[in-house]
Structure 1
């Protein structure tokens, strides 16, 4: 039976701090967007291959999501990845395998699909422009998995929505934000519209 949808709403500073393992990093400024770079896809493939090898004994799926997964879309130089596992709350089933690869648990959201985020910082001598990876971990059957993938695929295949999202990101990036999450939340209305069209086309 599909998991019940849990609405995603704008987070307060208290909620942002509570979700972070340790103190949340404050932005206190503008978001830096980079022009599209094909090397982001290469960085994803490299990291995904390493993860698959380490997670070989665990049923899992790895997808490239977020703006770096969409050609022709400006993005923060952060590769967003989605790791789907049987139970994202069972950190012992995947975290020990990924920590040797440089991943650290930074966000834990038990009340929002047991969402976890692991982060890896790339060294300065990297051969691509991505600065880090945000690895989102969700459980098999979680409705957020489908939404993330349909949103990505909609942007890859529909020029109008890709342009709308790009323009929204550029406009919001010029504002000052306390947390990067505030910038993400500010895109919610546009994201919901694009996602609604993607889901409608799939019906």
Structure 2
């Protein structure tokens, strides 16, 4: 919830993964200059669908880092005023061709039918947004951390994963270490 005001209604209290558990079944692709273009196309689509309801739209994740190998999924974070006011953003995103994948406390995820673009929706002051941008900016600016992160992903993707969330959790220790160095570098 926004730290500055009361939400319109209580947020959800459980995690709803529309469609259930999915196997990973992906591998890393070499950096692709098309990822930035895909982000810009979807940024414009989202802006057109949401107008002023989208306070911020940022390219996040590995595809936002030039020179970094990635699963070919463009991740975007959209910030809104009130996550509980789904009528302000969810209907517009669904009408723009995205499908709801996850509804959980303080976060919604929609994606394209091809599963190649994931749109994470948070309130504008949610700490996860700063964390995404902190990691992205550190990976863009620090070659050693970028190489560490890519090598970690390559190692983990050699294993079979029954759920994408398990793969994501397996990267947590490395991500936390990179973000700690990023915070130290920016003096926080």
**Which TM class, normalised by the smaller chain length?**
0.7 to 0.9
Aligned partner of 2:72 in structure 1 is 77
Compute the TM-score of the two structures, normalised by the length of structure 2. Answer: 0.88
Q: Which residue of 2 aligns with 1:142?
A: 126
Cα 1:59–1:100, aligned 2, differ >3 Å: closer, same or farther? closer
Among candidates 139, 153, 162, match of residue 169 of structure 1: 153
Specify the alignment match of 1:21 in structure 2. 18
Separation of aligned partners in 1, 2:74 and 2:68: 13
* Displacement after TM superposition at 1:22 (Å): 3.6
Look up the match of 2:92.
Answer: 97
Number of residue pairs matched by the alignment: 176
How far apart in 2 are the matches of 1:26 and 1:170? 17
Please, which of 104, 113, 130 is the counterpart of residue 121 of structure 1? Answer: 113
Alignment partner of 1:192 is 2:179: no
Contact 2:47 2:54 in 1 (8 A): no
TM-score (norm 1): 0.82
Q: Is contact 2:97-2:112 (8 Å) kept? A: yes
Alignment gaps of 5+ in structure 2? 4-13
Gaps of 5+ in 1: 4-16, 123-130
CA distance in 1, matches of 2:16, 2:151: 29
Shift of 1:59: 4.7
Q: Structure 2 CA distance, aligned partners of 1:59 and 1:189?
A: 31
Kept in 2: contact 1:150–1:195 (CA 8 A): yes
Q: In 2, are the aligned partners of 1:31 and 1:180 still within 8 Å (CA)?
A: no
2:144 paired with 1:152: no
Poorly superposed stretches of 4+, deviation over 6 Å: none
